[in-house]
Structure 1
Amino acid sequence: MDLQIALLLGQDGIVNGAVYGLMALALVLVFSVTRVIFIPQGEFVAFAALSMAMLQSGRAPASLWLLLALAAVVLAVEAWRAQRGAAVDWRSTLVWCVACPAAAAALVALKPEGQALQAVATLLLITPLGPLLYRLAYRPLARASVLMLLIVSVALHGVMVGLGLLFFGAEGSRTAAFSELRLDLGGLSITGQSLVVVGTALALVVAMFVFFERSIVGKALRATAMNRVGARLMGIPTELSGDVCFAFAALIGAVAGLLVAPITTVYYDTGFLIGLKGFVAAIVGGLASYPLALAGALLVGQLEAFASFWSSAFKEVLVFTLIIPVLWWRSLRSHHVEDEE
Structure 2
Amino acid sequence: MDFTIASILALDGVTNGAVYALLALATVLLFAVTRVIFIPQGEFVAFGALTLAMLQLGQVPGTVWFLLVLAGLAALAEAGEGWRAKRPVARIAKDALRTLAYPVAIGLLAIWAAPRQWPLLAQAALTLALVTPFGGLIYRLAYESLADASALVLLIVSVGVHFALTGLGLYFFGAEGFRNPSFWDERFSLGPLALSGQTLIVFAVSIALIVMLWLFFERSLWGKALRATAVNRLGARLMGISSTSAGRLSFTMAAFIGALSGLLIGPTTTVFYDSGFLIGLKGFVAAVFAGLSSYPLALVGALGVGLLESFGSFWASSFKEVIVFSAILPVLLWRSLRDPHGEEH
TM range (shorter): over 0.9
The residue correspondences of 1:120-139 to structure 2 (distance < 5 A) are: 120-139=125-144
Q: CA deviation at 1:41?
A: 0.5
The residue correspondences of 1:267-306 to structure 2 (distance < 5 A) are: 267-306=272-311
Deviates more, 1:214-223 or 1:83-92: 83-92
- Judge conservation of contact 1:47–1:164 (CA < 8 Å) in 2: yes
Give CA-to-partner distance per residue, 1:98-150, whole Å, 9 cap, x none: 22441243144123511111011101110000000000000011111100100
Q: CA deviation at 1:151?
A: 0.4
Distance 1:130 1:93 in 2: 18
Matched, 1:148 2:153: yes
| Structure 2: runs of 5 or more not aligned | none
Residue equivalent to 2:55: 55
The residue correspondences of 1:127-206 to structure 2 (distance < 5 A) are: 127-206=132-211
Distance 1:271 1:255 in 2: 13
What is the one-letter code of the residue matched to 1:247?
Answer: T
SS across alignment from 1:210: helix
What is the one-letter code of the residue matched to 1:126?
Answer: V
Residue equivalent to 2:77: 77
Distance 1:228 1:338 in 2: 20
- C-alpha spacing 1:96/1:299, structure 2 compared with 1 (3 Å): farther
Q: CA deviation at 1:333?
A: 1.2
Alignment partner of 1:103 out of 80, 101, 106 = 106
What is the one-letter code of the residue matched to 1:136?
Answer: L
Distance 1:86 1:246 in 2: 29
Residue equivalent to 1:333: 338
Distance 2:228 2:256 in 1: 22
Q: CA deviation at 1:2?
A: 0.7
Alignment partner of 2:254 out of 249, 255, 261 = 249
Distance 2:93 2:43 in 1: 28
What is the one-letter code of the residue matched to 1:106?
Answer: L
Residue equivalent to 1:66: 66
SS across alignment from 2:194: strand
Residue equivalent to 1:13: 13
SS across alignment from 2:261: helix
Task: State percent identity of aligned pairs.
Answer: 55
Matched, 1:213 2:215: no
Q: CA deviation at 1:229?
A: 0.4
- Judge conservation of contact 1:104–1:124 (CA < 8 Å) in 2: no
SS across alignment from 2:38: coil
CA RMSD of aligned residues (A): 1.6
Distance 1:201 1:95 in 2: 32
- Judge conservation of contact 1:197–1:259 (CA < 8 Å) in 2: yes
SS across alignment from 2:189: strand
- C-alpha spacing 1:94/1:215, structure 2 compared with 1 (3 Å): farther
Residue equivalent to 2:324: 319
- Judge conservation of contact 1:100–1:124 (CA < 8 Å) in 2: no
Give CA-to-partner distance per residue, 1:165-200, whole Å, 9 cap, x none: 011000001111000010011131110101111111
- C-alpha spacing 1:290/1:337, structure 2 compared with 1 (3 Å): farther
- C-alpha spacing 1:48/1:128, structure 2 compared with 1 (3 Å): same
Structure 2 length-normalised TM = 0.95
SS across alignment from 1:110: helix
- Judge conservation of contact 1:13–1:303 (CA < 8 Å) in 2: yes
| Structure 1: runs of 5 or more not aligned | none
Distance 2:97 2:26 in 1: 24
Distance 1:278 1:137 in 2: 22
SS across alignment from 1:183: strand
Distance 1:95 1:146 in 2: 31
- Judge conservation of contact 2:290–2:298 (CA < 8 Å) in 1: yes
Residue equivalent to 2:312: 307
Structure 1 length-normalised TM = 0.96
Distance 1:104 1:29 in 2: 28
Q: How many residues align?
A: 340
SS across alignment from 1:320: helix
